[in-house]
Structure 1
Amino acid sequence: MAEKKVSLPAKLINGGVAGLVGVTCVFPIDLAKTRLQNQQGARVYSGMLDCLAKTIRAEGYFGMYRGAAVNLTLVTPEKAIKLAANDVFRQQLSRDGKLPLWGEILAGCGAGTCQVVVTTPMEMLKIQLQDAGRLAAQRSVTTTAAPDPAPSLVAPNPTHPASTPRRSATRITLELLQTKGLSGLYRGAGATLLRDVPFSMIYFPLFANLNALGRRAPGCQGDPQERAPFLQSFLAGCTAGSVAAVAVTPMDVIKTRLQTLQKGEGEDSYRGILDCTRRILRREGPAAFLKGATCRALVIAPLFGIAQGVYFLGVGEQVLGLLG
């Protein structure tokens, strides 16, 4: 049987729709992950639930979606590139409809490398917006703990960061381009590669094999391109996503620290991946590299479960069919 060709436009549509649905569902947990990973000295949040509760109390419900506009704008090309590139690489590396494990890993490597072009600036902007509330809360706590001998007429409120002006993604982008050039938007690109390439090398082969379970029974001559049931794709995406997410959490912590431009009082700044690794080890210990691991698993599992479920529904093929 001739192997079906990958319809790239359809895959791009599928990946974009999947990314939009997934991000909308899990963004608050991603915000908690960023804030927890950036805590170095003063502990503003004791955990994910505490972070979300304090965020709602201080910034309102929509405070949990600070930075979501950047993600929703750029997640379409990011997820589309990642999922479509993996499909294209898998097709190119397949022989007689079969793809060995090394081919699955290599395809995942290629997909992770391609997506960094969009992922790095997206996360660079998202992190600044997500972390602003933590910095404001930290300053408020510090001010409350050590009051000014000549107090202001307006008493500080530790749960209300309104005194800190909010910066938009557009403003941050313009500032970075003016001061650092295009490289400013790609700060932490090396750490992003070291996170996303291993993630994809773990995720895509694991997902493909979990998604194929039950369709390789002895004597079964099913179409290798046949879509798995929606629930199977969803669960395979959740499982593979959570395993890959936890595995690369240490590099995600390093990436988050490197991409955070504004630091709180007493928090370290870093010159690169090795300097960041050394300083975290010395100051916070090995456990710091797993900060936000639970949040990350809770973000990535449903994100990729939803993404793969929507992707395998073939929305793109249906849209192109209507347009055709």
Structure 2
Amino acid sequence: MELEVDNVNLQVIEFEMMDKRKYYPLTMLSSFSIRGLLYPFTLIKTRLQIQRGTEIYKGTYDAFCKIIRNEGASGLYRGFWVNCLQLIPTVSYISTYEAMRQFLKDNTDFTHGKSRSFVAGGTASFIGQTLAVPIDVISQHMMLLGQRVSKDEGKIDRKLAQLQTLKISEEGRLSRLGSVKEILQQIYIRDGLRGFYKGYFVSILVFAPNSALWWAFYDTYTLFFAGVSPEWIPRLAIQCFSGTLSGVSASTITNPLDVIRARIQVEGSNMNETVRTLWKEEGLLMAFKGLSARLVQSVMFSFFIILGYESIKRLSLLEEYRKDVRW
């Protein structure tokens, strides 16, 4: 399929054009690599969103320096291996996105690329979040374990004590598997099975619009820059730049809901209570809480995800389409 922008043809690689035996393994490898590269920003964003005001960290850079100084470099990867289970929702997400785009093309009047991307992105996020929320709940608790404001292991800080929503023993803290086991037990004791879906509906409210907007912005920016860019600029470069702008646009719009989601999942409060608490603590600034870390994460994530996504699609092309696709 080709999208025409003035006199520029931009090739869109559809799901049916790819060899799935190459596509899925490469997608999982790319997702794991990107997740490992950007995980510290995810951890910092979560800690900034959970804290009261600026009690512990003044911002993204301050959080980065304090974590390195007080917890070591490994502190930036606390809970990483649990978070890697997100590879399963990631594959489900991208499969749903591609399949939905194809379905809309073949069976509906959604012939415009941006409309199909918007609907497919929202649907994919709904499926992905259904699988991802329990992993998010556990990994966010893992991100807070071992947090401290001093190298002094014996020092008990009241600010950090206020952030501890689960009673994890010191033995559990020292063992990765032990802490995961205790987190699972404590969540179940506190809230039962529904505790693993704390914030599910607010996650849908955050990530479905974010995903829909991201893909719609991506198509919009890609088409625009393809139309105004010189012919010698690689199409992959245009797509990576467009993906970066899409991440900034979608993240800025949905950040207030992301702050609410993080608080609900960690503290276990309901949405009304969480919004009232955040408004009392932050006022209008709640809309920007953790935004700098989220933008850094989103810019880098969007760039690398599109670099990987579009490259993998090209590498997975069936032989009969290879001559028609331009890098």
Question: Is TM more than 0.5 here?
Answer: yes
Q: 56-65 or 166-175, which moves further after superposition?
A: 166-175
Give 2:304's aligned residue. Answer: 306
Deviations 1:276-301 (A, max 9, x none): 11221123212123211110011122
Give 2:205's aligned residue. Answer: 194
Q: Does structure 2 retain, via aligned residues, the 8 Å contact 1:22–1:304? A: no
Distance 1:57 1:113, change over 3 A: same
Give 1:45's aligned residue. Answer: 57
Distance 1:18 1:107, change over 3 A: same
Give 2:165's aligned residue. Answer: none
Deviations 1:34-77 (A, max 9, x none): 111111167111111111111111111111110111122x2322
Using the TM superposition, give the Cα deviation of residue 179 of structure 1 relative to its aligned residue in structure 2, in angstroms: 5.4
In the TM superposition, 1:1-324 aligns within 5 A as 5=16, 7=18, 10-40=22-52, 43-72=55-84, 74-94=85-105, 98-134=111-147, 136-137=148-149, 140-142=156-158, 166=173, 168-177=179-188, 180-213=191-224, 215=226, 229-261=235-267, 270=269, 272-314=270-312, 318=316
Distance 1:198 1:294, change over 3 A: same
Query: Helix, strand or coil: the match of 1:248?
Result: helix
Q: Does structure 2 retain, via aligned residues, the 8 Å contact 1:249–1:290? A: yes
* 1: CA distance, partners of 2:285 / 2:93: 30
* 2: CA distance, partners of 1:312 / 1:188: 32
Q: Does structure 2 retain, via aligned residues, the 8 Å contact 1:249–1:289? A: yes
Which runs of 5 or more residues in structure 1 are unaligned?
A: 144-161, 221-227, 262-268
Q: Does structure 2 retain, via aligned residues, the 8 Å contact 1:86–1:110? A: yes
Deviations 1:235-274 (A, max 9, x none): 222221122112111111111101114xxxxxxx62x112
Deviations 1:89-122 (A, max 9, x none): 1111126994354333211111111110222112
Distance 1:299 1:50, change over 3 A: same
* 1: CA distance, partners of 2:113 / 2:199: 33
Q: Name the TM-score, length of structure 2 as normaliser.
A: 0.75
Query: Helix, strand or coil: the match of 1:94?
Result: helix
Structure with more helix by fraction: 2
Distance 1:189 1:312, change over 3 A: same
What amino acid is the match of 1:28? P
Q: Name the TM-score, length of structure 1 as normaliser.
A: 0.76
What amino acid is the match of 2:156? S
Using the TM superposition, give the Cα deviation of residue 317 of structure 1 relative to its aligned residue in structure 2, in angstroms: 5.5
Count of aligned pairs between the two proteins: 285
Q: Does structure 2 retain, via aligned residues, the 8 Å contact 1:9–1:316? A: no
Using the TM superposition, give the Cα deviation of residue 140 of structure 1 relative to its aligned residue in structure 2, in angstroms: 3.4
Q: Does structure 2 retain, via aligned residues, the 8 Å contact 1:14–1:311? A: no
* 2: CA distance, partners of 1:230 / 1:140: 51
Using the TM superposition, give the Cα deviation of residue 201 of structure 1 relative to its aligned residue in structure 2, in angstroms: 1.3
Q: Does structure 2 retain, via aligned residues, the 8 Å contact 1:28–1:64? A: yes
RMSD: 3.3
Query: Helix, strand or coil: the match of 1:313?
Result: helix
Using the TM superposition, give the Cα deviation of residue 191 of structure 1 relative to its aligned residue in structure 2, in angstroms: 1.1
What amino acid is the match of 2:250? A
Distance 1:283 1:124, change over 3 A: same
